[in-house]
Structure 1
Amino acid sequence: MLELEFTAEDMARTRFAISPLWEVVAGLRVLLGADEQGLHRRWAEPVRARIAAAKLDLTPLAALVPPPSPSVPGFICPPPTTPWPSLEVELTALRRTPRELLRALSPHARPGVDAILADPDRRLGELADLIEAYWEIAMAPYWPRIRTLLESDILYRARRFAEGGTRLLFDDLDPQLGWDDGTLQIAHRYVRGVHTLAGRGLILVPSAFVWPRVFSTTDPADLPVLRYPPRGIGTLWETRPSPASPALAGVLGRSRARLLTELAAPATTTDLARRTGLTPGGTSQHLTALRASGLVTAHRAGRVVLYARTRVAEELLNGAGA
């Protein structure tokens, strides 16, 4: 059992954030075997195929975050410095990792870290470049959907806090958590003891890829972080496209509305043409228009291009009841 002791200052400094870089790390652990229940199978199977097609060698990153390890080296995913950091901002921090921090890591992280220490500037740059390549294939096409889930959880938690304070906030955050008399109790499998937050507060980070675990960081030299599964995680990869609503078709046109509705999961031009009955050329033209209007993004994965809905498109579909 891990116990985090809060003071009044800690409660005042507790906040939420999202971390794209953490999702990269946690998602890779899923691909390496951390998803025993198969929750992310619909995501993992096509992503593995695209990584193989792109011949992307993830060994340098995988060596740092193998699923059997009970923890993740802190420099790979430092605490978010803002509520909504971009991947670029977090990778900048990764590239600037202090050398003394690498040397101070615990022995379980040494195999991957020793290679970085041999030439820190070059190896950290290569690691950041590898993460960017992996992000484009595995995360970027799905990010609007993931981010919507994470933001929805944060809004729900904010309402809980407004209604009942800290106790209500933590009451249903995760079954492994309990709140009692200013102390957050975490049923950790590997970490035990009592830690005082010392006025630094706690950063709460919902994560799509941690279920059924929670991850915590209590290093005195850094900001405390708790990463937990968001509400509705079991529905994240559901793909049940419904007919485009008449309202949406009236604005976009029937074909474009249908394509947007079909993009419940990222897909290629060929896939969309087959599913909608449109010609490949017509599908490509409609996707180009949707991309120009900010409703669709394109991401190269090996030899194919995947199209995905943007966050704006997700909100538009929700508003139209599609």
Structure 2
Amino acid sequence: MGSPDFLTPRPTSPLTQIADELDLIGSVDRETFERQLVGVHGEVPAELVGADGVTKVVDALREYWQSAIAPYWNRMRTLLTADISYRGHVVTQRGTGVMLNELGPAISYGDGLLRVDRVSEVSRTESVDGRGLVLQPTLFGPHAVIPMDVGAEPILGYPPRGQANLWSVVDPPSRRDLAQLIGTARTRILELLTHPRTTTDVAAELKVTPSAVSQQLQLLRRTGLVEPQRTGKQVLYKPTQLAALLTGTEPD
């Protein structure tokens, strides 16, 4: 049994927050909400009948996030971000076809056709039609995930690399030891990068000039501890997996 597509909206940004996702789910129209529930369950569950059905789903998801996922999200996101970076590296070094063929045993690509084998009696072929295919690593299942609705926005969920290491424990060095290793200023910058931030943001937090922070960020980038990420006209800096292990504060 799958899940309704409205529960897994296509990401609009690599920096999407849970509040954004819940807003998207909360904006689903009643017809789509009921049709997709019927497609999965054969009917609209009794608890979701009525005008407040969507609100009930959003409230339940928010509560689930806070209790079951949020405490571990930093660790999860570190693994997911590492997988995305790896896939991008494969594309640049070996090509898109190789990257797609390495997503999982049920996923194969050749001659312009991406094939996803699923345990289902239903078979269908869809054209991306220039809409772009979003690849989304997911920790919630070992199999490839595709939209249930015919004509839905193209998105492919796949299990990321390294899931077996998700709960491994590594004791980070103390703050004092880390400061001796890379310097107090750079240690403080890494501690501030719990989520991607601009040079100006970090400078304001530290009450120093942006140029001073820029010099430190460039050194951290060259040593593999931070990486830039362009979003629109902004360049955000985020810690790498190596930095997360050093600081013990995995990126948000």
Q: Give the length in aligned residue pairs.
A: 196
Q: Of the candidates 72, 83, 87, which is equivalent to residue 18 of structure 2?
A: 87
Counterpart in the other structure of 2:245: 318
Report the equivalent of 1:233: 163
> Aligned equivalents of 2:14 and 2:170: distance in 1?
31
Contact 2:172 2:246 in 1 (8 A): no
**Superposition CA RMSD, Å:** 3.1
Query: How far 1:150 moved relative to its partner?
Result: 0.6
CA 316–169 in structure 1, closer or farther in 2 if over 3 Å, else same: closer
Distance 1:131 1:320 in 2: 31
Aligned-residue offset at 1:92: 0.8
* Secondary structure at the counterpart of residue 193 of structure 1: coil
**2:41 alignment partner AA:** A
TM-score (norm 2): 0.67
Structure 2 partner of 1:124: 54
What is the correspondence of 1:278-293 to structure 2 with a 5 Å cutoff? none
Instruction: Describe the shift of the 1:155–1:186 C-alpha distance in structure 2 as closer, same or farther (beyond 3 A).
Output: same
Is contact 1:207–1:230 with CA below 8 Å preserved after alignment?
yes
What is aligned with 1:51? none
Question: Unaligned regions of 5+ residues in structure 1, if any?
Answer: 1-68, 252-289, 297-310
Structure 1 residue identity aligned to 2:73: W
For residues 295 and 181 of structure 1, what CA distance do their matches in structure 2 show? 42
Output the CA distance in 2 between the equivalents of 1:142 and 1:321.
13
- 8 Å Cα contact 1:245-1:321 kept in structure 2: no
| More deviation, 159-168/191-200 | 191-200
CA distance in 2, matches of 1:74, 1:124: 13
1:75 CA drift (Å): 1.5
Contact between 2:107 and 2:144, CA under 8 Å: does it hold in 1? Answer: no
**Residue 161 of structure 1: how far off its partner (Å):** 0.9
How far did residue 248 of structure 1 move? 2.2
Note closer, same or farther for the CA distance 1:317–1:245 as it changes in structure 2 (3 Å cut).
Answer: farther
Amino acid in structure 1 at the alignment position of 2:13: T
State yes or no: 1:160 paired with 2:90: yes
Q: Which amino acid aligns with 1:92?
A: D
Bigger shift: 159-168 or 229-238? 159-168
Q: CA deviation at 1:184?
A: 0.9
Give the secondary-structure state (helix, strand or coil) at the position aligned to 1:205.
Answer: strand
Give the 3 Å change call, closer, same or farther, for CA 125–318 of structure 1 in structure 2.
same
8 Å CA contact 1:195, 1:218 repeated in 2: no
Percent identity (aligned): 29
AA partner of residue 187 (structure 1):
D
